[in-house]
Structure 1
Amino acid sequence: MYFTDRGLEELVTRRGEEEVSLAWLADRLQEFVDLNPEFETPVERLATWLARLDDDED
């Protein structure tokens, strides 16, 4: 199990029944980066990956 798995499991346990918009998620990620600028690159990579999930792979 990766360390992040515990955080993801907690997220599902605490907030798994909620529905949120992508705009809300983007705002929370930006807030996180503002508080933790050292994580800017990983958050950017995650956001880009999520944004491109439906792109056709060549």
Structure 2
Amino acid sequence: MDYLKRIFDNRIFYEIFQIILLILVIALIGHFMLLYFKENLPLPKIKELEDRVSLREKV
């Protein structure tokens, strides 16, 4: 236990640990946001949009 206390008292290690923890939290939140948007905000069909804005005449 004394060893862990000595490690966490080291300011550089503690800051690196906080940065890693922050990156993990941001990645986790981003992952769940993408899952939510993928289900509840479907992307439009690209082919349909291309046909709509196409300047070519259909033969």
TM-score normalised by the chain length of structure 2? 0.30
Bigger helix share: 2
TM-score normalised by the chain length of structure 1? 0.31
Higher RCO, Cα 8 Å, sep 6+: 1
